[in-house]
């Protein structure tokens, strides 16, 4: 029979009095579930958000974390890496508490989770790129995804938009304002330089119908420029050809040629200058470096890459040969086998894939991940000869 603190026997089945103050048994304290939980929660709360995110990603493992990591921007991944690098050994209890907090935060995002057709499409548009969403929903989500740029711009500050648009031609400004709510368009107009306002208003009063391909191309350019550089302060206001060239570069070849031929009838010299400075899928073999090809292939959505390469066999054989000559022979064979397995595809889907590659190349060049080979115009060549 055991004894109590004063040496008196404790009858079997009797409750042991709780120890108080300094008499608390350290072993009992260590085995206290509530105490362990409190310490684990405190340890989890002591971690920074970046450290907690790094722990969750590490616990998911490469296979499960892969799809998540692909959607995370490089700067955030760098922060996760640095946070994880600075961690010492994390006790199991703290790991579990960190995961529990993560799950709790997910649950607290909303009291309920609403499903349905609209919600499913919105979620898919957030998780995947436009092309992948289109494949999932049979294509009609593509228009919604492409329109997303205009919805995002509608939430921007009028002053920031005005700074960006003031470097564009009046007809471009008018098209962009035409996609915005009237109230915001009016605020942007008020912020524009006076010399632009009257011209833009005149064009807004006589709107020209813009086809979907052109509007999509303009949206892609704004996506790359405005959101890559906030107010796009690096876009030279005296270089309108760069804007026109960027827009035409992501259009399908036949649509682009139609526009250039029409422009050549009105402004032959300007049309030729645009043609000389324009970056096209068909001309990539002379405009990108050999070392850029693997980077582009890695960044492209695999299904989109195959579609772009399949069409390249007929509309850009030189580009296709250039691509294949700058990746391993094993990869070339894999691509050819996968393209063969695709069977017949819609030309419009393949053209969209090539346009997606052109948009990607523009973004990679702007981010400094690849370099474009600058093409000299005839005017620059003449000036060099005179010097």
For the stretch 339-377, pLDDT in tens is 999 999 999 899 889 988 988 898 888 788 998 887 655
- DSSP class of residue 285 equals G
Q: Which tokens go with 99?
A: 């995961």
pLDDT value for 305: 96
pLDDT value for 102: 67
Q: Note every long-range contact of 83-90, with CB atoms under 8 Å and residues 24 or more positions apart, other chains counting.
A: 83/48, 83/50, 83/51, 83/53, 83/54, 84/51, 84/54, 84/55, 84/58, 86/51, 87/51, 87/54, 87/55, 90/43, 90/55
- The pLDDT tens digits of the residues spanning 118-148 come to 555 554 555 445 555 555 445 444 444 445 7
Of 66-80, 82-96, 220-234, the one with minimum mean pLDDT is 220-234
Compute the mean pLDDT over every residue in the chain, rounded to the nearest whole number: 72
**Rounded-to-5 percentages of helix, strand, coil across the chain:** 70, 0, 30
Percent of the chain residues past pLDDT 70, beyond the cut: 61
Q: Is the pLDDT of residue 5 over 80?
A: no
Q: What three-state secondary structure class fits 372? A: strand
Q: What is the band of 21 on the pLDDT scale with cuts at 50, 70, 90? A: very low
Cα(379)–Cα(242) distance, rounded to whole angstroms?
15
As a whole number, mean pLDDT of residues 70-84 equals: 67
Q: What is the DSSP string of 5-49?
A: TTS-B--TTPPPPPP-GGGS-HHHHHT-HHHHHHHHHHHHHTS-H
pLDDT value for 204: 73
For residues 120 and 250, which has the higher predicted lDDT (pLDDT)? 250
CATH dotted code for 281-374: 1.10.220.30
Cα(272)–Cα(278) distance, rounded to whole angstroms?
10
As a whole number, mean pLDDT of residues 230-254 equals: 58
Q: What is the band of 71 on the pLDDT scale with cuts at 50, 70, 90? A: low
Domain ranges of the chain: 35-106, 281-374
Q: How many residues does the chain have?
A: 387
pLDDT value for 241: 64
As a whole number, mean pLDDT of residues 229-246 equals: 52
Q: Which residues of 190-226 are buried (b: 16+ CB within 10 A; e: fewer)?
A: ebbeeebeeebeebbeeeeebeebbbbbbbbbbbbbb
* CA-only gyration radius of the chain, Å: 30
Cα(151)–Cα(143) distance, rounded to whole angstroms?
12
pTM of the predicted structure, to 2 decimals: 0.42
Q: What is the band of 319 on the pLDDT scale with cuts at 50, 70, 90? A: very high
Q: What is the dihedral of CA 166, 172, 175, 176, to 10 degrees?
A: -40
Q: What three-state secondary structure class fits 335? A: helix
Q: Which tokens go with 337?
A: 């086998």
As a whole number, mean pLDDT of residues 249-266 equals: 75
């Amino acid at each position: 029979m055991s004894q109590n603190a004063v040496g008196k026997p404790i009858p079997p089945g009797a409750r042991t009095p709780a120890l108080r103050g300094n008499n608390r048994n350290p072993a009992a304290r260590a085995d206290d579930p509530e105490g362990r939980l409190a310490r684990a929660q405190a340890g989890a709360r002591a971690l920074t958000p970046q450290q907690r995110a790094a722990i969750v990603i590490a616990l998911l493992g490469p296979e499960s974390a892969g799809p998540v990591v692909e959607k995370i921007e490089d700067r955030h991944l760098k922060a996760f890496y640095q946070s994880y690098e600075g961690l010492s050994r994390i006790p199991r209890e703290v790991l579990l508490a960190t995961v529990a907090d993560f799950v709790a935060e997910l649950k607290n995002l909303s009291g309920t989770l609403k499903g349905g057709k609209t919600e499913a499409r919105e979620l898919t548009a957030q998780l995947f790129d436009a092309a992948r969403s289109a494949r999932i929903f049979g294509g009609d989500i593509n228009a919604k995804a492409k329109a997303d740029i205009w919805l995002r711009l509608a939430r921007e500050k009028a002053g920031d938009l005005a700074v960006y648009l003031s470097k564009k031609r009046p007809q471009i400004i008018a098209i962009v304002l035409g996609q915005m709510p009237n109230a915001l368009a009016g605020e942007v107009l008020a912020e524009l330089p006076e010399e632009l306002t009257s011209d833009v208003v005149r064009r807004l009063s006589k709107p020209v119908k813009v086809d979907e391909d052109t509007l999509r191309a303009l949206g892609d350019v704004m996506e790359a420029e405005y959101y890559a550089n906030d107010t796009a302060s690096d876009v030279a206001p005296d270089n309108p050809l760069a804007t026109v060239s960027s827009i035409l570069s992501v259009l399908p070849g036949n649509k682009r040629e139609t526009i250039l031929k029409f422009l050549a009838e009105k402004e032959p010299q300007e049309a030729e200058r645009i043609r000389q400075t324009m970056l096209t899928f068909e001309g990539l073999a002379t405009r990108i470096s050999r070392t850029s090809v693997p980077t582009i292939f890695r960044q492209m959505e695999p299904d989109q890459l195959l579609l772009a390469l399949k069409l390249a066999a007929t509309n850009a054989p030189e580009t296709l040969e250039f691509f294949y000559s700058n990746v391993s022979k094993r990869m070339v064979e894999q691509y050819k086998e996968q393209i063969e397995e695709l069977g017949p595809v819609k030309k419009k889907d393949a053209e969209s894939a090539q346009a997606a590659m052109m948009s990607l190349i523009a973004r990679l060049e702007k981010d400094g991940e690849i370099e474009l080979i600058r093409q000299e115009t005839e005017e620059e060549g003449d000036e060099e000869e005179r010097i």
